[in-house]
Structure 1
Amino acid sequence: MMVGRATRWLAVLSVLLVPLTACASIPEESDPVAVREADERNTTTEVTPPPDNLDPLGLVRRFVDSASPASNHEAARMHLDDLQAKQWSPGPDLLIVDNVDTIPAPPPPEPLPEGVQLVTVQADRVGRLLKDSSFVPDVGEYETTVRVELQPDGKWRIASPPAEMVVSRDAFSSVYRSVPIYFLDHDSTGVVPDLRYVASQPASTLPRRVIDLLTAGPSERMQSALRTAIPPGVHPRTNTSEATGDGALEVNLSKLGEVSDEKRWLIAAQVVFTLQKVSNARVRLQEEGLPLLATEQDLWPTDLTRYEIDNMPRQDLGGLAVIDERIKRLDSRADPIPGPAGSGEYQVLRAGQSPDGRKIAAVTRRSPDEVVLRVGPYGESLHELGALGSFMSKPTWRGDDEVWTVIGGRDVIRARSGETGWTVQRVDSAQFTGGRQITDLRLSRDGTRAAAVIDGKLVVSAVADRDGSVVLERPTTLPSPQGAQILGLEWRDKESLAVITDSNGFPVYDVSVDGFRWRAYTSANLGQPMKMITVGPGPTVIVADRSSIWSSPEPGDVWSLLEPRIGSSSLPFFPG
């Protein structure tokens, strides 16, 4: 892709004998920014105009590096001529690009007037920051041509800017930061994150801006999966700021109406967990200037842990593994678990343990060409459900009483425990799969998202509950670097996944749930083909390659042989 661009560049330069300098570099510091338009108008920020001697190529590159949205994109407008600086009205989305080139455009049929040059911007699409401050991936090449004119004062300025705001990835990352905004899970018992991106400056207004995102509700793609305890129309009554004298962060909401005490605690959990990434202060919650809660005034996240849904396995439960078609403990002795699943009575191919550790779901061999799903208490007989197929994916749990699998790579089913026993239902996954093949499926432990490997690609979807049925809605494909094929996945924590690929150079990645960030683990010690991935407490990522099973706590750490040492055909797994 980059070679093609270089070839086009040389071809153009051979025609245009215009002395233009190279692209401008990305500025090391970014201008202060604000998110909401109302805040931006009331915020004084210093922005630096382009250098007087900047040529057209450097001017356009610097324009693409102007990520600050402050004062209606004032930093970007400084690169425009007087007319466009007043009239330019980009849409609400922000297009993020990478590998940016600014090159002379081919000469038009009619000669350009003196003091006018055309510059082409070529880049790779990364994604878009949507109006609700969420990121969605985008792929393909980006190209646009802008007209640059020499002004009476001798400075070059853009006379025809792009219709949308285009920002380089590096500039975006230097100005914006990811912030999890917390909403309620599918049964409204705990809080889970909805990842957004907000400008990090000015820091003094950052708490107010994230609370504005909270009161506005879940992002568009997650509206069907997440809930909120905050009634419609409620907003911050005053600016979210430190209270005078004692350093508490004061959040004063408008009148809630008739709200139960439990719902007030849920609101408190949403607010406090949302603010924990942008402030270290305790949070003082108010409603119209009065305490929100009858018994507490100031809260820390540790006061609300009962509402936090952990997306990692419990440390105290340890791990299990399918070894030689038996389920065994993942400890120094690797003893079989009690019951038929450990004794060998069942031919276990793959399995999953409920988050509380009390139940086991296992895919077992029923005949040479048929497998069946079994579910039951840990250490006891597992009930054979009616779900049959030639292949079933590794079971994945949604809470302690619901387990999912994929039959034949096509049909997503869920088995639910009720008063009359286990029942099996088909999940509406038409949007999710589009008729394509699913080879791995994992539910987030909060039950609001599904992630899958579909035709070698990583796809994430909202899990929407609708009158007793479940729909996988608004799927998003997260494009992998260099087009690597995804082979397997597991949830690493609340905001990211761990995946294995077919790449020799980058066989394992940590991926943010929206696909904006891909962090590669080292490839040292690993050899293709990669066979399996799971995540244990810590989180510790565990993978199986062609010969061994390895573990690593962080992308920057080396891979260590898993203890106890078990064969690469074994399948370790942890609750969830």
Structure 2
Amino acid sequence: MKRLLPVVLCLALVAGCANVPLESQPVVVSGERQGQGSGDVVPEPKPDIDPLTLVRDFVGATLKPGQNNAAARAYLDEQSRANWRPSRSLTIIQDTFGTVYDPSPQPDPNTLVVNVRGIDVGTLDQNSAFVPDYTPAALKVKVRKQANGQWRIVDPPPDLYATESDFSENYTEVPVNFYSEQSATFVPDRRYVVAKPQSGLPSRVMYLLVNGPSTSLAGAVKNLLGEPVEIDTNVKSLDDGTLLVPLTGLSGVADATRNLIAAQIVLTLQYVTSARIRILADGAPLVANHPDWRSNELPAYGATLSPSQQLPGLMTVGGRVRSLLDGAPVAGPAGNGGYDVVSAAQSIDGKRLAVVERDSGRVRLRIGDLGHDLPLVGLGGTTLSRPTWRPGTGEVWTVVDQVSVARMVVNPDNQWTPLQVNATDLTQQGDITELRFSRDGARVAAVVNGQLWVASVVGSGDSVALREPRLLQPHDLRDVVDVDWLAPDMLVAVTRSTSQPVVRVTVDGQRMDAFNSSNLTPQVHGVTAAPGRPIVVADASGLWMASVLGEVWRPQNHSVKDADPFYPG
């Protein structure tokens, strides 16, 4: 009997775990899509499905249309189906992932723990904003064999998990706009909302707008729809097709602010509706005598923050500043060799120039009127990053010795004073080699240890800080050497890579696309971009231009080897 007992126990264990594979192979998950609505019929999982496939299919069902995550809930046992209350956060993992049994011993052979083996690329937070990440998946799922012999999940995760493909298929990105008092324009805050039903998109987007900016922009922009403003009743389409947005809590709000609120709503909703937008405040038109709005009726906010078409841009080459239009040197010492120019930046109105000058093994900053002598401004070091002009302020920023962010502030007598920026959150990430302001002034892009970061600009006057730094595409984007703003929520970066020397990256890092690398000669070392202008990059042979992804780079008309191009700003 003593000899038979271990054999019997072993046979019982095998019987309890029959048809359970030891590990699943990594696969690309793309679940079938079902119709939308509370009446969806959600099928049970396939009969006799093994625990590894059960968990994999559970992840694939997370974003299937239906009420209350019904498709994913079908993979749970009866008790968990009734009790599961997942948070509003969504973890997004790479499409290719595997499932494997947890090596920890389980006392019950009918209860197993399955680990999801893959990479988390980011999360969709409570504000529906994407927060980039690149870490191994940490999802553990307990499954148990039911009385009917079928495996089911008994402790579903508190957050939802979905693959990149499923996320892209089921969510749509919407730039939710918030106002920047510093630059008197609107700043897009990228959010991701469930795409279907399409009729509900305006309501879902308005909810995000009223609830304020995401963490990445908190303090850098103003929420004009903050408390006590609320959505009075449902956002809905009227019989004539007009979209009704009813607000409350706006008693006593000034007319100027009401016009800004209307612009904030229209600029945001234009991405999810083409209808006229009727905005009411406590039952009356938000703006007197202007109940209905379309985007083409709004002022051109931020128009002065983009360079005029009359300013073709400049380049530094051979220690001098030259025009991108004809290659001619600019007037004054910056163009005639009076300064040994390392880098430079032209003000948005084209009237001023900031240059980093090499002098006796060190560098120093000069700022003044373009075409004239540029006075020294009392800032220098071993290195200074290429200057960048802060929109709406006339300030010039640069990074001293890759570790300290300085801002030069001018007074009415044209005297420049250096002030420090509280950039600890960013500088502690490593050495900063490039810093570039977005054209709305709410963010900076930075190259830190060869990686691309974005941070928000918070504060005014004597106190300014860089907050909420985010690392973009940490796995796929390395050896970055330069960056510029292609759009308010889009960056273009150049790298030392031969396979993807020029890339486009969303400001939240959710997506990256490579430009055509044809015609480019490694190494690409410079880039500039501006609204309505071609992107100009500098490689080992000269300057090249392109406007869209996939376009073959064409030579710039006055290409010069070793040039670094820059548009105003």
1:360 maps onto 2:364 in alignment = no
1:87 maps onto 2:87 in alignment = no
Aligned to 1:440: 434
Query: Which segment drifts farther, 429-438 or 469-478?
Result: 429-438
1:305 maps onto 2:299 in alignment = yes
Aligned to 2:365: 373
Percent identical residues:
37
Write the deviation string for residues 215-263 of structure 1: whole angstroms up to 9, x where unpaired.
1111122111111222412121122222222x22221111302111111
Cα deviation, residue 308, structure 1: 4.3
Aligned to 2:13: none
Q: What secondary structure is seen at the aligned counterpart in 2 of 1:273?
A: helix
**Separation of aligned partners in 2, 1:70 and 1:554:** 37
Aligned to 1:129: 124
Output the amino acid matched with 1:407.
V
Give the total of aligned pairs.
547
**Residue 93 of structure 2, aligned match among 92, 97, 102:** 97
Aligned to 1:517: 511
1:210 maps onto 2:205 in alignment = yes
Cα deviation, residue 131, structure 1: 0.5
Output the amino acid matched with 1:89.
R
Output the amino acid matched with 1:264.
R
Write the deviation string for residues 161-186 of structure 1: whole angstroms up to 9, x where unpaired.
23432211111111111111100114
1:490 maps onto 2:484 in alignment = yes
**Separation of aligned partners in 1, 2:261 and 2:41:** 38
Aligned to 2:216: 221
Instruction: Write out aligned runs for 1:69-468 (5 A).
Output: 71-105=67-101, 109=105, 113=109, 118-152=113-147, 155-187=150-182, 189-245=184-240, 247-308=241-302, 313-331=307-325, 333-365=326-358, 367-399=359-391, 401-421=394-414, 422-434=416-428, 436-468=430-462
Structure 1 residues 270 and 349 mapped into 2: Cα distance closer, same or farther (>3 Å)?
same
Write the deviation string for residues 483-504 of structure 1: whole angstroms up to 9, x where unpaired.
6222211111111111112322
**Separation of aligned partners in 1, 2:98 and 2:108:** 19
- Contact 1:266-1:307 at 8 Å conserved across structures: no
Output the amino acid matched with 1:26.
S
- Contact 2:20-2:50 at 8 Å conserved across structures: no
Aligned to 2:499: 505
Write the deviation string for residues 414-460 of structure 1: whole angstroms up to 9, x where unpaired.
11233132322111111111172110000111111011011112111
Write the deviation string for residues 336-385 of structure 1: whole angstroms up to 9, x where unpaired.
222332222222221111122222111122x2212221222232332221
**Separation of aligned partners in 1, 2:378 and 2:82:** 67
**Separation of aligned partners in 2, 1:67 and 1:108:** 27
**Separation of aligned partners in 1, 2:210 and 2:102:** 49
**Separation of aligned partners in 2, 1:311 and 1:189:** 10
Write the deviation string for residues 456-509 of structure 1: whole angstroms up to 9, x where unpaired.
121111100155321111211123344622221111111111111232222221
**Separation of aligned partners in 2, 1:30 and 1:551:** 45
1:26 maps onto 2:19 in alignment = no
**Separation of aligned partners in 2, 1:470 and 1:143:** 37
**Separation of aligned partners in 2, 1:163 and 1:145:** 11
Q: What stretches of structure 1 of length at least 5 have no aligned partner?
A: 1-14, 33-42
Output the amino acid matched with 1:372.
R
Aligned to 1:11: none
- Contact 2:50-2:151 at 8 Å conserved across structures: yes
Aligned to 1:5: none
Output the amino acid matched with 2:97.
D
**Separation of aligned partners in 2, 1:206 and 1:220:** 22
Aligned to 1:35: none
Aligned to 1:36: none
Structure 1 residues 97 and 345 mapped into 2: Cα distance closer, same or farther (>3 Å)?
same
Q: What secondary structure is seen at the aligned counterpart in 2 of 1:271?
A: helix
Q: CA RMSD in A?
A: 2.6
Aligned to 2:8: none
Q: What secondary structure is seen at the aligned counterpart in 1 of 2:356?
A: strand
Q: What stretches of structure 2 of length at least 5 have no aligned partner?
A: 1-16
Structure 1 residues 305 and 163 mapped into 2: Cα distance closer, same or farther (>3 Å)?
same
Output the amino acid matched with 2:263.
A
**Separation of aligned partners in 2, 1:438 and 1:146:** 41
- Contact 1:550-1:559 at 8 Å conserved across structures: yes
Structure 1 residues 477 and 283 mapped into 2: Cα distance closer, same or farther (>3 Å)?
same
TM-score, length-scaled by structure 2? 0.89
**Separation of aligned partners in 1, 2:28 and 2:466:** 45
TM-score, length-scaled by structure 1? 0.88
- Contact 2:182-2:441 at 8 Å conserved across structures: no
Output the amino acid matched with 2:33.
E
Output the amino acid matched with 1:553.
S
Cα deviation, residue 67, structure 1: 3.7
**Separation of aligned partners in 2, 1:238 and 1:409:** 52
**Separation of aligned partners in 2, 1:438 and 1:46:** 53
- Contact 1:148-1:157 at 8 Å conserved across structures: yes
Q: What secondary structure is seen at the aligned counterpart in 2 of 1:511?
A: strand
Q: What secondary structure is seen at the aligned counterpart in 2 of 1:306?
A: coil
**Separation of aligned partners in 2, 1:190 and 1:534:** 22
Write the deviation string for residues 77-131 of structure 1: whole angstroms up to 9, x where unpaired.
12111111122233342111114433341666457546x5553311101011110
Output the amino acid matched with 2:324.
L
Structure 1 residues 418 and 565 mapped into 2: Cα distance closer, same or farther (>3 Å)?
same
**Separation of aligned partners in 2, 1:515 and 1:574:** 24
Cα deviation, residue 281, structure 1: 1.4
**Separation of aligned partners in 2, 1:78 and 1:180:** 34
Write the deviation string for residues 290-323 of structure 1: whole angstroms up to 9, x where unpaired.
1111242222222213324687544332111112
Aligned to 1:475: 469
**Residue 64 of structure 1, aligned match among 55, 59, 65:** 59
Output the amino acid matched with 2:182.
D
**Separation of aligned partners in 1, 2:180 and 2:170:** 30
Cα deviation, residue 205, structure 1: 1.2
Structure 1 residues 276 and 570 mapped into 2: Cα distance closer, same or farther (>3 Å)?
same
Aligned to 2:3: none
Cα deviation, residue 520, structure 1: 1.4
**Separation of aligned partners in 2, 1:30 and 1:503:** 42
